[in-house]
Chain A
Amino acid sequence: MRLFSPFRLLTAFACLAIPLTALAGGDATLTLTDPAGDDNGPGTYKYPTAPVYTKGSFDLRKLEIIDKGDKVEFRVTVGAHIEDPWNSKDWDGNGFSVQFAQIYIDTDHEAGKGFTGPLPGLGSLKWADDEAWDKVVLVSPQGRAKLSSETRKAGAMKSAIVIPTVTRAQGSTLIATVKKADLGSTPLNKWGVNVAMQSNEGFPLSSDLLTRPVNETGGEHRFGGGSDGDCDPQVIDIFAGKAKGDAAEVADQHKALAYKCGSQVAHMPMIYPGQ
């Protein structure tokens, strides 16, 4: 009898792994959840046709914000394993290629403070006055040098941009560590947050901050289903409703991101899970 058959080894491994997995637990301070399959912006957007944009790559599932003392860890989970098809180590990147998540934070929930428009490259999108964002964390595959250089495009918003000290991918989760001091002193449970899910474009249009355009007709490396004008929100997925992952939040997202060129601007809702 063979003592070390592959099947026995796998079984032993699984027996060890499963109970240990049960011990795993996070200490997330804030958690937002999003239903699957709503990675279509206002309901019409389509992925680019190149095979690197695999199904679920931009489908937000969860945001966890973890208080780690003088640091804050952001974990953005999507609906696919995060791969690195463009070998990010070749361009001083962070171990993934196609995703780009912008985490918008309203630290004060006060009207008249913060920004009510997005960073360049997200198209036409507005925040309510009392939900204006104060900080935005860029979870990008680009290395710090390139990312910090690109922030010049943000103009007055540049000072509100926070570049993580570490950004990495693990399984289907993007993980970014940020110095708490860079986010201000407001307790996390007072924050309003949302995520604009986009795609990393290493050679963006000159006014865009590393984002991939959404056009009327999609292409190999262009999202489709939007507008060729400037009136559409260039985000693929956001959190909506109460961000509990209910199926009804799909409609909430579509309603928030709905737009009509010339008459209706898409709206980015902020989620205040601690309030």
Chain B
Amino acid sequence: MANHLRDRLRAVALLCLASGVLAAPAWADLTKFEIDGRIYTKHLYQNDDSQGLLSLGNPFWPDKVSGHNGVGSEFELTFRGKVSDYVEAGARVASRFGQRWQDWWESGASDFGGQENTSGDSAGMNRAAYMQLRGSYVQLNLRMPGVDWVRIGSSDFGMFNPWTIGKVRYIDRDNGRGYFASGHFGKDDQFQYHVGIIAMPKLFVGPGWSTGLGDPNLGGNAFWSRDWAYAASVRWQPQDETIVRWVADYTQDLEVDKADPDAVGSTNPTCLDQLGNPIPGCVIDHAVDMLSRYSSWNSTLDIDHTFLDVWRVQGLLALSGQRIDQTLTANGVALNQGVFPIVYKDTDAFAGTLRITGNDPWGIGLTLQGEYFNIGQDYNAIFGARREADVLLTDGLVGNGGQLPTMNLANEFIDFDDEWVESCIGWHGGTGLATWEKDETRLRAEYTFITYNQNTQGRDIDKVYPTFLFSEGFTDTAVYDYANTLDRGRDPRSVFKRDQDRHTQIAMTNLRQRWPEAHGLELDAKFKYVSDVDYRRLNGPGALNDDYYGNIFIARAKLSMPLWDGIKVGVLGQIDHWDEQHRTGTPELGYGNDVTDKQTAAFQTQIYWQGVKISYYLEYIHKFQDRERQPDQLWNIIRSKATIEAAW
């Protein structure tokens, strides 16, 4: 433990001793106690009239936090204590984010009908900045044969993988709780395992992003207190160069069997039918039967092998499946306009990737990577990583946040400068990536070809396959709105269409050059071209006139340099030109050709000073959307984000 902290705690202990509050033996325990603190303040401003602290908040419910103009703070304390030689315990408490500095008096009450007014008792808990327990755990470091530790409480699930149970996104990093254990066994501890029994979040892991709550088929009687996920991973490293991993999970959403006479709201409370006759098998025994509303499983087997020191092969096979009881699960595809995170039927699917990397095999600074991927159209990691992970090598179509094999992506609770993730369900193709690095120069070039396992005609998107309502057009992540009132293009979760015959090519080059002699000046330039072709309908009237041809050009350059110790500044410029023929329309009315031009300029600085981190990002976007069949659209956006973070 650090001197300063111990000194501080000793001082506290001595003060307590002097005042007679603390008994002397407690001193020894205090020296085994760590406290980390953090205050984070964010300023978000834009030349519009929305109020809030978050660019993109809850996509479904009004959250009183989202908006583009506001400043607010968050405070957290993380505690770690050594209980004994074998036991560690910890917790994090953090204030709820969303209270703007102008919310002087908001108490957390939502009196007066929850309407905002001058009372100070109106805006609810989201604006009260109350302290909330976010993570608590006890870890038993057993150090016994076969079991290293057992953990009860919070975990970020980092021991599994994005294809099964993904590492939880940062803002939820310790909201997941369960029972976990890990250990080693075998010769030279070649095997390492993790197992977990995880309390499933009532939000997001299931049909309609729910384990029953809000499902109309359950009639307001959802039961989620016994919904658990089970996961295991085994890592076998027989030699330094070879690692074999198996990871699997199973999720189980249980609901009450309403035919059980003991259930609240039972359809058979007396075990008699309408004629008064006993119902066979119906017994009142004060025990309630359960039914499975939804279950899913995902499993991966991957091999990571290095040979000749510099060549690395990584292969992964994955399977995915789900079972739905449609009497307990409402059809969100039909009822929610296709905004639904699963296919509405039982599914089984496979996926596989094979990546080969040559780490500078010829000693000239050239690294080569190639990847083949084939992800089944019904693969869906419902509890997989939702963001902050990436399973493919490619830069992808939108953003550089990564590609994930789930429709449960979380491009939400983010600000305008955060990265985006996209679903790679159904992708089938390959990527080649060459990286040349020499001293202060790094040059990367990528080519990717993708076809789609979803390519078919006449898919049932009315009752089975979700489309997320908007499947057409290149996605604009910079000017995005959930409801798509501003024609922002395809939802990154939308992987199904009624008629599709699509293939995509991506070419990307990226140059990073540093000049130490010029005070560390750094250039990061990127050019990307996406050719996206979808012949849509292949037969029938108008089939020849609905073909989509998207030619997407994006050029970006950033110059940055350190001014002096701890201060870095940068300027950025980006030009987008999206030429999309037959971008939107209908078979009946025809399709229009749209051209989007966008110019972005930005200034950025980061300052590290005496333990405080300050960052500032100022951006101007000019976007013009020339649309053939709808009115043109213009954006002139100026927006900024400033954060101040002090941690100790």
Chain A residues engaging chain B, CB cutoff 8 angstroms: 6, 13, 17-18, 20-21, 23-26, 36, 49-52, 55-56, 68, 71, 73, 79, 81, 85, 87, 90, 92, 143-146, 148-152, 165-166, 168, 170-173, 177, 179, 203, 205-208, 213, 215-220, 222, 224, 228, 230
- B514 in contact (CB, < 8 A): yes
* Least Cβ–Cβ distance between B609 and chain A, in angstroms: 7
Interchain CB contact (< 8 A) of A205 among B5, B311, B437: B5
| Contact residues in B for A26 (Cβ distance below 8 Å) | 363
Taking a contact as CB atoms under 8 Å apart, the answer to whether A230 and B3 are in contact is: yes
Taking a contact as CB atoms under 8 Å apart, the answer to whether A92 and B606 are in contact is: yes
Taking a contact as CB atoms under 8 Å apart, the answer to whether B4 and A206 are in contact is: yes
Looking across the interface, which residue of chain A has its beta carbon closest to that of B359?
Answer: A171
Interchain CB contact (< 8 A) of B85 among A146, A205, A217: A217
Check A217/B562 contact, CB under 8 A, given A145-B608, A170-B360: no
Q: How long is the Cα–Cα vector from A137 to B85 in the complex, in angstroms?
A: 36
Q: How long is the Cα–Cα vector from A143 to B520 in the complex, in angstroms?
A: 12
* Least Cβ–Cβ distance between A188 and chain B, in angstroms: 17
Taking a contact as CB atoms under 8 Å apart, the answer to whether A177 and B439 are in contact is: yes
Interchain CB contact (< 8 A) of A148 among B167, B310, B357, B562: B562
* Least Cβ–Cβ distance between B74 and chain A, in angstroms: 15
- B285 in contact (CB, < 8 A): no
| Contact residues in A for B31 (Cβ distance below 8 Å) | 228
| Contact residues in B for A85 (Cβ distance below 8 Å) | 158, 167
Q: How long is the Cα–Cα vector from A215 to B82 in the complex, in angstroms?
A: 10
Q: How long is the Cα–Cα vector from A206 to B36 in the complex, in angstroms?
A: 10
* Least Cβ–Cβ distance between B600 and chain A, in angstroms: 19
Taking a contact as CB atoms under 8 Å apart, the answer to whether A145 and B568 are in contact is: yes
| Contact residues in A for B38 (Cβ distance below 8 Å) | 203
| Contact residues in A for B306 (Cβ distance below 8 Å) | 81, 171-172
Taking a contact as CB atoms under 8 Å apart, the answer to whether B516 and A165 are in contact is: yes
Check A148/B362 contact, CB under 8 A, given A166-B439, A177-B439: no
Taking a contact as CB atoms under 8 Å apart, the answer to whether B2 and A68 are in contact is: no
Taking a contact as CB atoms under 8 Å apart, the answer to whether A49 and B149 are in contact is: yes
Taking a contact as CB atoms under 8 Å apart, the answer to whether A218 and B141 are in contact is: yes
Taking a contact as CB atoms under 8 Å apart, the answer to whether B88 and A220 are in contact is: yes
Taking a contact as CB atoms under 8 Å apart, the answer to whether B85 and A203 are in contact is: no
| Contact residues in A for B82 (Cβ distance below 8 Å) | 215-217, 219, 228
Looking across the interface, which residue of chain B has its beta carbon closest to that of A227?
Answer: B1
- B164 in contact (CB, < 8 A): no
Chain B residues engaging chain A, CB cutoff 8 angstroms: 1-5, 31-32, 36, 38, 80, 82, 84-86, 88, 90, 139, 141, 148-149, 158-159, 167, 182, 192, 194, 237, 240, 304, 306, 308, 310-312, 356-363, 367, 370, 372, 388, 419, 437, 439-440, 442, 514, 516, 520, 562, 565-568, 606-611, 613, 647-648
| Contact residues in A for B5 (Cβ distance below 8 Å) | 205-206
Looking across the interface, which residue of chain B has its beta carbon closest to that of A22?
Answer: B308
Taking a contact as CB atoms under 8 Å apart, the answer to whether A168 and B437 are in contact is: yes
Q: How long is the Cα–Cα vector from A24 to B309 in the complex, in angstroms?
A: 11
Q: How long is the Cα–Cα vector from A79 to B243 in the complex, in angstroms?
A: 12
| Contact residues in A for B419 (Cβ distance below 8 Å) | 90
Interchain CB contact (< 8 A) of B182 among A21, A49, A213: A49
| Contact residues in B for A50 (Cβ distance below 8 Å) | 158
| Contact residues in B for A144 (Cβ distance below 8 Å) | 520, 562, 568
List 20 contacting pairs A-B, 8 Å CB cutoff, sorted by A: A6-B372, A17-B308, A20-B361, A21-B361, A25-B363, A36-B240, A49-B139, A49-B141, A49-B148, A73-B439, A81-B306, A81-B312, A145-B606, A146-B608, A165-B514, A171-B310, A203-B38, A206-B611, A219-B82, A220-B139
Taking a contact as CB atoms under 8 Å apart, the answer to whether B568 and A92 are in contact is: yes
Taking a contact as CB atoms under 8 Å apart, the answer to whether A177 and B240 are in contact is: no
Taking a contact as CB atoms under 8 Å apart, the answer to whether B514 and A21 are in contact is: no
Q: How long is the Cα–Cα vector from A150 to B635 in the complex, in angstroms?
A: 41
Q: How long is the Cα–Cα vector from A224 to B143 in the complex, in angstroms?
A: 12
Q: How long is the Cα–Cα vector from A87 to B389 in the complex, in angstroms?
A: 8
Q: How long is the Cα–Cα vector from A173 to B310 in the complex, in angstroms?
A: 10
Taking a contact as CB atoms under 8 Å apart, the answer to whether A165 and B520 are in contact is: yes
Taking a contact as CB atoms under 8 Å apart, the answer to whether B568 and A207 are in contact is: no
